[in-house]
Structure 1
């Protein structure tokens, strides 16, 4: 069996080598998101804009076998390391990803690699992870830099991201200070579309929907609830709906499914679109997840629940003090314990004037370019070759 695998890999490498000698297809783009998990995030928004603005470019998605069933109708896809996979990654003019393509993918002269990223960094990233064993375990920073060296363009959501990417991925790419394409929908979605999303999710119009979306911990292998979800749901009462989404690294949790069956909460971990969940909710409860930066575009309350802040900060490292209470660092109300969280939610502190003041400063700092036209700017610059100074001007936050 080992011999057959070795021979198979050698055959694929040889086939890939022949494809690399064939001409680049100027009208082909290969997309991937979250390590081939389907049509999602910034790459999905870029592709959607490309279909409208650059319809001559054909899109192919790299998708894992287990995610094929969730693809939208009509999506052209390849399985990782299949015969056609080697053909398209070798010959595509454009390669778009929100992480990195595997190390074995060769960057040819004439190809364009677009790195969209998938979140504004609170936690340390890239070379800044080196002092933190929980984050750096098993990582080769030399290989990381070689992957970043393939990028031609790096999408930035805000000045903070530009500064961080520039330092932690020190390679000669162009920053696209366009805003995040996946956040366009927060500016363009209509009230009717939001109501339709809520209806599909089973959220009655009269109920307040709170989305609980914690991030992963590098030092944990599975989802471990940091709070008693049953208690929170009961404290909120029947006029609220608690939506729970685990991090995609952890997958679905059987305990959440059981709680949903009992009518205590809505398990939305498997929902394809985080953006739809944000649009459907009236407020966000999170910890250190980058969802907070995107959600600020909606100008809806954000509650930071941070029971293990010291442990997270020590294990992963962070760029600023999320709990400082300073404008531009803290997005709203903060709770350190479960009792504090219950108090914040049941007293109305989560949507107080002070919370709104903090949210406004946070939005001003981290959402300056998210005006609904980020994907268009990316496509015009990358696919159509328009000059950066000719792209659509950004609408200031105060005028949205």
Structure 2
């Protein structure tokens, strides 16, 4: 007897069926059966099912001789089910990786309740993933772990789908629950199941991705068959009449019914125009037939909801339509009003900015920002901290919105982007520091110093070098780009390679400061105690090997999709490893989780989502190993002299789409792998820290880290803010004489000798390291 029976009704879904079945068969929890019911589908769905069943004995296929509809097809699958629990999955939807394991663990933790509700997310054709609006009902602490509906009546407000729940099979049999025929078969199934379950539990985790099809679904079909909803509510209230002990729920179900009727009537596509008035009359009749007796329990509702229900109950079709039309007119009007208000505000701010420019410059004011105002980070943050230490007479202000205020150190004043204070500071500050460009509306004044710090050593093409790479340029205005670079007074460089790239990619009359990257100073100053403190705050055990996975952005993709099977990697490496997952800053947000990344509750054991951590430098200090692809983070992490692994599954595609200044796979900072299996074997065997990898890192540091000695911020502040000549600044300490922060794991510390594996796999063999170029030599372009 399997733990789960996954029942998949199938009809006209040949384009989506492979993805649906693959999402089930790839689950890490394997104690399940799949019962696929071919509802006499006229396309290739039946043949697809047979092919899957031939390849996997867990799949049973039932071919129906005639089309009976979604509900009866589910009943057919239920009759053949052998599992402890039933799961219904529509054949154009998918299970999220790890969903079955999470459900199984929650069932065990809550004592195998009759019914478990879990989360889902809508997925759209344009790549958007939007979580169900009622997911707050599933959150821990929102009610008892195990309850009845009487203890948590608000669960009746949850989305009434059968596939966002799992049901004990003996509970379904005991209550004789079945799906009726028709288009709205979910209604007479879901509510009786909730009302009759003797024990309910919730799981605050997205387990199903609910596909929102552009065409072909019931909800996007114009037909009088939507009148089927009336028969389904007849069945639901008939069930209620036969169970007097459930009478208390009549008021709540009455409200759900009126809301349902209103949603169908308000839809622009479901009802033919000639059927709208008839539908509303039928809705009024149903509301009168099943009206709630005086004094019955009726859940609270908003004034807007009460008005809508009253209009349905009264059958006021024309008034209802008038309100709908008024809303349709009101929304564009609001848009126009907001646009006018925004333009007026912009005009006032420009006037304010112009007036502030007439005032003298404030020689003691410095404005800092980073990553388009996404919080306190990168080179500007390291410089700002050093200004407060070495030049306390300078007042520093940081530009970021309220949502990033928590990233600011105590005592640092915040400016709201676009505010009068922000524009006033831009107009009067003596010093402007950023790692990206300032607002286009700002014009630098004579006497102001704009320091462009950049935010990484360039492997990929940048600036004007993107002109022949449309995927990387993505509509970039190169003329405007040059307008911005012409405002730079100083350009900070981390190494000779960066100097040559910046001067070619951004050809403007600025002065280059070859001082190193201030954000990397911490690597030379942090102590072993600092490393352990950071790891403890992240939840990384002291004895575990922490692997930081930090891939870069792909210009030829939308959103973030890991090229590694992170769940399998964490599982195969075992409890001795912890994976820290950090997407590119386009997708990682210091104020929230990564865009497109799994919610924290979906992550398996041994895997931590650190996308919201404000300091990537702290993550580097916590990590014993960095796994990246083409991210500039590799150039920074090399300063720690800890193992680096390049995972480059799409090197050819990335290079073709973005362009690179050199072949990183020819002279890498560590081993190069292409698959999850190769990476797993490399890490598990210890080959990532073998002696020859230290030689690769040494050559890499010599070429790309000549000035990152822990004094870069000091050099910047003393020269830019205090006016000291370059000749008076600290001379860079050679890489071989530095002592970076030690790794927590002894085998990965600077100078430690790791035991090489007995036999190196084919996926981890490397060619001999390329002869390092002297720091002043330019890399040879190979694109």
TM-score, normalized by the shorter chain, greater than 0.5:
yes
Report whether the alignment pairs 1:309 with 2:647: no
Aligned match of 2:675: 337
Aligned match of 1:213: 550
Asked whether the equivalents of residues 28 and 59 of structure 1 are also in contact (C-alpha less than 8 Å), the reply is yes
2:579 aligned to which of 233, 242, 245: 242
2:616 aligned to which of 274, 277, 282: 274
The SS at the match of 1:342 is: helix
Alpha-carbon deviations, 1:75-98, whole Å to 9, x = none? Answer: 201111111111101000000001
CA distance in 1 between counterparts of 2:343 and 2:385 reads 39
Aligned match of 1:299: 641
2:405 aligned to which of 40, 43, 68: 68
CA distance in 2 between counterparts of 1:51 and 1:155 reads 20
Summarize the alignment of residues 153-168 of structure 1 with structure 2, pairs less than 5 Å apart.
153-168=490-505
1:264 aligned to which of 606, 621, 628: 606
CA distance in 2 between counterparts of 1:246 and 1:256 reads 13
1:369 aligned to which of 707, 717, 741: 707
Report whether the alignment pairs 1:255 with 2:598: yes
Deviation at 1:289, TM superposition (A): 0.4
Deviation at 1:340, TM superposition (A): 1.7
CA distance in 1 between counterparts of 2:633 and 2:444 reads 31
Q: Which has the higher contact order (CA 8 A, sep 6+)?
A: 1
Asked whether the equivalents of residues 521 and 709 of structure 2 are also in contact (C-alpha less than 8 Å), the reply is yes
The SS at the match of 2:444 is: coil
Deviation at 1:69, TM superposition (A): 3.8
CA distance in 2 between counterparts of 1:31 and 1:158 reads 23
Deviation at 1:355, TM superposition (A): 1.5
Aligned match of 2:419: 82
CA distance in 1 between counterparts of 2:710 and 2:409 reads 23
CA distance in 2 between counterparts of 1:61 and 1:210 reads 32
Aligned match of 2:87: none
Report whether the alignment pairs 1:52 with 2:389: yes
Report whether the alignment pairs 1:353 with 2:353: no
Deviation at 1:254, TM superposition (A): 4.8
Asked whether the equivalents of residues 259 and 265 of structure 1 are also in contact (C-alpha less than 8 Å), the reply is no
Deviation at 1:136, TM superposition (A): 1.2
Asked whether the equivalents of residues 620 and 637 of structure 2 are also in contact (C-alpha less than 8 Å), the reply is yes
Aligned match of 1:136: 473
1:203 aligned to which of 528, 540, 545: 540
Asked whether the equivalents of residues 577 and 606 of structure 2 are also in contact (C-alpha less than 8 Å), the reply is no
Aligned match of 2:42: none
Higher CA-based Rg: 2
Report whether the alignment pairs 1:8 with 2:350: no
Aligned match of 2:430: 93
The SS at the match of 1:29 is: strand
Alpha-carbon deviations, 1:20-55, whole Å to 9, x = none? Answer: 111100000000000001110100000111111111
Asked whether the equivalents of residues 306 and 336 of structure 1 are also in contact (C-alpha less than 8 Å), the reply is yes
CA distance in 2 between counterparts of 1:395 and 1:5 reads 52
Aligned match of 2:523: 186
Unaligned stretches of 5+ in structure 1? none
Deviation at 1:367, TM superposition (A): 0.6
1:110 aligned to which of 447, 466, 479: 447
Report whether the alignment pairs 1:145 with 2:487: no
The SS at the match of 2:368 is: strand
The SS at the match of 1:184 is: helix
Deviation at 1:389, TM superposition (A): 1.5
Unaligned stretches of 5+ in structure 2? 1-336, 589-593, 739-783
CA distance in 1 between counterparts of 2:732 and 2:412 reads 31
Judging changes above 3 Å, is the alpha-carbon distance between structure 1 residues 254 and 399 closer, same or farther for their aligned structure 2 residues? closer
CA distance in 1 between counterparts of 2:515 and 2:652 reads 33
Asked whether the equivalents of residues 230 and 259 of structure 1 are also in contact (C-alpha less than 8 Å), the reply is no
The SS at the match of 1:170 is: coil
Aligned match of 2:628: 286
TM-score, normalisation: structure 1: 0.96
Deviation at 1:344, TM superposition (A): 1.6
Aligned length: 395
Asked whether the equivalents of residues 153 and 176 of structure 1 are also in contact (C-alpha less than 8 Å), the reply is yes
Deviation at 1:74, TM superposition (A): 2.5
Report whether the alignment pairs 1:393 with 2:762: no
The SS at the match of 2:626 is: strand
Deviation at 1:256, TM superposition (A): 5.0
Deviation at 1:5, TM superposition (A): 2.3
Deviation at 1:65, TM superposition (A): 3.4
1:172 aligned to which of 502, 505, 509: 509
Deviation at 1:108, TM superposition (A): 0.3
Report whether the alignment pairs 1:323 with 2:661: no
Alpha-carbon deviations, 1:99-150, whole Å to 9, x = none? Answer: 1112111110000000110000000011101100011122111111111111
